Structure 1
Amino acid sequence: MNLTGQQHLPVSQAQAWAALHDTALLQAALPGCEAITPAGDNAFDVLMTVAVGPVKARFQGRLQLSELMPPQSYRLSFEGAGDAAGHGKGQALVQLQAVAARDTVLSYDVTASVGGALALIGAPFVDTASQQLAQDFLARFHAALAAGPARDAA
């Protein structure tokens, strides 16, 4: 599965970078996310519930940030497993580009694969669920930035 997109954020590039490293904000913005906890240098454990077509499962996973170039980009590697639902892994390139003082474009390019029951239900279900999850996250992330204290930070 490949997923690409972008979102304008109503904050500076530095504020967007800080928000992408704020685990409380990310947990609130990510649908189904129950916990994001630090697990070492630029690593995080994640617990979330995800529904993909007829399969709904609680996933435990690990996120690892690498190739950090503050405040422009980083690579995110992820892997997780959800009981009998299956497993997934992949990576994403996340980039931030300042357009104006309070306008930053977040771009992402994700490559992922799934196995187990998730693979059996078919790529169309997985692709649709992934796209919906990304859209929901970006909408909630944008709303939090537009309303939150980061909007007023220097």
Structure 2
Amino acid sequence: MEFGGRYHFSAPRDVVWAGLNDAAVLKAAIPGCHRIEWVGDDSLVCEIKVNLGLMHPVFKGDLELRNVVPAVSYTLAGRARGGLLGKAEAAADIALADSDGGTELVFTAAGGADGGIMKLGKQLIGSSAQKVIDGFFERVGDAMGVEVTPLER
């Protein structure tokens, strides 16, 4: 499954970068996030309760930042374990660029799942994931106190 989007933040690039790397901002922006914390220079652990329609599994995951170019781009790779529902993996590329009155963020991601998660249906998960992604960037802006506007994909 692939996802993506473009968003305009009404803040300078270094401010957006700082927000994307602040565990408190991320916790506020990720729906169902019970815990997220840095455990190394480029790694985080998290615990997230996910809404998959009729089911609300708790996923425990590990996140790693790769190919980091400060205030410009990075790849965020993650693995999550959902107990009986199986595992999910994803990687996202995030790029920031100066834009009129702020910063443009371009996000592309690909992910997959196994086990019981896939039995719920690829379409349900895909539409849920894209809604979560769109809402995530809006909530990052809210947590940072800046306006975020989705741009054409």
Instruction: Decide: shared fold, TM above 0.5.
Output: yes
Q: Aligned partners of 1:61, 1:144: CA distance in 2, in Å?
A: 22
Give the corresponding residue for 2:123. Answer: 124
CA positional deviation for 1:26: 0.7
CA positional deviation for 1:67: 0.3
Deviations 1:81-136 (A, max 9, x none): 11112210020000111113x41011110000011111111110110110111122
> How many residue pairs end up in the alignment?
147
Native 8 Å contact 1:9 1:145 kept in 2 = no
Tell whether 2:27 aligns with 1:13.
no
Q: Aligned partners of 1:19, 1:142: CA distance in 2, in Å?
A: 8
CA positional deviation for 1:55: 2.4
Q: Aligned partners of 2:52, 2:137: CA distance in 1, in Å?
A: 19
1:93–1:130 Cα change, 3 Å: same
Q: How does 1:113-152 map to 2 (within 5 A)?
A: 113-146=112-145
Q: How does 1:5-84 map to 2 (within 5 A)?
A: 5-84=5-84
Q: Aligned partners of 2:71, 2:146: CA distance in 1, in Å?
A: 21
Q: Tell me the amino acid that sits aligned with residue 126 of structure 1.
A: I
Give the corresponding residue for 1:152. Answer: none
Q: Aligned partners of 1:109, 1:69: CA distance in 2, in Å?
A: 16
CA positional deviation for 1:147: 5.2
For the residue of structure 1 that corresponds to 2:40, the secondary structure is: coil
Native 8 Å contact 2:77 2:92 kept in 1 = yes
Q: Aligned partners of 1:41, 1:95: CA distance in 2, in Å?
A: 19
Q: Aligned partners of 2:77, 2:102: CA distance in 1, in Å?
A: 27
Give the corresponding residue for 2:150. Answer: none
Seq. identity, %: 27
Q: Aligned partners of 2:85, 2:41: CA distance in 1, in Å?
A: 29
TM-score scaled by length of structure 1: 0.90
